[in-house]
């Protein structure tokens, strides 16, 4: 059974940092794209960042470029999201996800099949 477990969320002041982790289990994800998405109250879930299976191809949503960094350690089946210079508008539940197909760089939300339960990030002003 595939399971994704996020951790590292919390309450932080604007300008602060958090590092989210997502541990995957149930199978090996080293050949799959992994991504981070977020959902704020009353809004749709939106793309934040994704990383290819090799780790050398990353993409970020415009609002987080230059502030967030995605990374992965395949040997640990884990993906990370380092979030710096946090803003109140970054407040949301953050979800990690794994793409449907191996060897394919997934860029759209509907190309991800497995999702974690989410971790709350709250940035106070």
pLDDT per residue as tens digits for the range 5-32: 999 999 999 999 999 999 999 888 889 9
CA atoms within 13 A on the CB side of 6: 26
Tokens 């394919």 label which residue?
A: 104
Beta bridge partners of 79: 22, 72
pLDDT digits (tens, 9 = 90+) for 35-79: 999 999 999 999 999 999 999 999 999 999 999 999 999 999 999
Pick the closest to residue 38 from 119, 125, 123 (CA basis): 119
The rounded distance, in Å, linking the Cα atoms of 48 and 64 is 7
Locate the DSSP E strands across the chain. Answer: 3-7, 10-13, 18-25, 32-39, 46-51, 58-60, 68-73, 78-83, 92-102, 112-115, 119-124
Which conformational region is residue 58 in: left (phi greater than 0), alpha (psi within -120 to 50 degrees), or beta? Answer: beta
């Amino acid at each position: 059974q595939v399971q994704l477990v996020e951790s590292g969320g919390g309450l932080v002041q604007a300008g602060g940092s958090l590092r989210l982790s997502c541990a995957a289990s149930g199978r090996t994800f080293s050949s799959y794209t992994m991504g981070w998405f977020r959902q704020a109250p009353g809004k749709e879930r939106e793309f934040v960042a994704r990383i290819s299976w090799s780790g050398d191809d990353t993409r970020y949503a415009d609002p987080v470029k230059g502030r967030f960094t995605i990374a992965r350690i395949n040997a640990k089946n884990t993906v990370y999201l380092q979030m710096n210079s946090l803003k109140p508008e970054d407040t949301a539940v953050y979800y990690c996800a794994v793409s449907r197909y191996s060897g394919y760089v997934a860029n759209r939300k509907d190309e991800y099949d497995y999702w974690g339960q989410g971790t709350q990030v709250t940035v106070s002003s």
